[in-house]
Amino acid sequence: MFEDGTVAIVPVTSSTAATILNEAFNRPVASPSYTFVTSFDQYQKIFSGQCDRVHSFIYGQLDNLDQSDDDQNEEVVDCIARIIDLMGEPASCTAVLEAGLLKENLSAFEPLLLAIGASRHRDTEYLRAHALRGYAKDADYRVRKAAVRALGRMKALPAKQALEEISSQKDTGEIALLAAAMLR
């Protein structure tokens, strides 16, 4: 911080927006105590609060899953996908994180992956496709199948590229056939 209250930061990388801020000068407008750091702290609190709300929403929706009612389960998937569309990055990151935590509970894991794939949020499509591609390489057959089905719901180019890669692998058998079918 300079004597006049100016803060200079060069360069700063934002992990959430994946942008580089080459130079930032924060000149206090309202109060000399208001700095770039306090703005960043506020942003983190807002982002964290959004993630917490999405976490609660996802688990609330997953509680509505019914093994005997496919229509109800599809509605749960659509609701989670819509919240990812609405909230964008906080919801997408939270859904991917929660999927990792629910991997052993396939009855909740698969609908969550389908919701991640069904989302149409363009800014997060690469992140979502990358996460689903990772699950498509898992040792557990059921996890791979759920990931390929979720990739099949995505319209984004990274998802189609992942499906092409999976379908061309000779050692994956039925998963490769499923990926090829999802490309049609």
Beta bridge partners of 19: 14
Rounded Cα distance between 114 and 146, Å, is: 7
The reported pTM is 0.75
Give the DSSP H or E segment for 40. helix 36-62
140 secondary structure, DSSP code: S
User: What pLDDT sits at residue 13?
Assistant: 42
pLDDT tens by residue, 41-72: 888 898 899 999 999 999 999 999 988 889 99
Beta bridge partners of 14: 19
The confidence band for 2, taking pLDDT boundaries of 50, 70 and 90, is very low
- Report the share of the chain in percent with pLDDT over 70: 80
Tell which wins on pLDDT, 182 or 29: 182
Q: What's phi and psi for 21, nearest 5 deg? A: -100, 110
The confidence band for 5, taking pLDDT boundaries of 50, 70 and 90, is low
Q: Interior CA angle at 53 toward 50 and 55, to 5°?
A: 110
pLDDT tens by residue, 7-29: 444 444 444 433 333 334 444 44
Phi-psi region of 134 (alpha: psi -120 to 50; beta: other; left: phi over 0): alpha
Q: Are 132 and 151 in contact (CB under 8 A)?
A: yes
Q: What's phi and psi for 25, nearest 5 deg? A: -120, 125
Q: Interior CA angle at 117 toward 134 and 43, to 5°?
A: 85
Average pLDDT over residues 119-135: 93
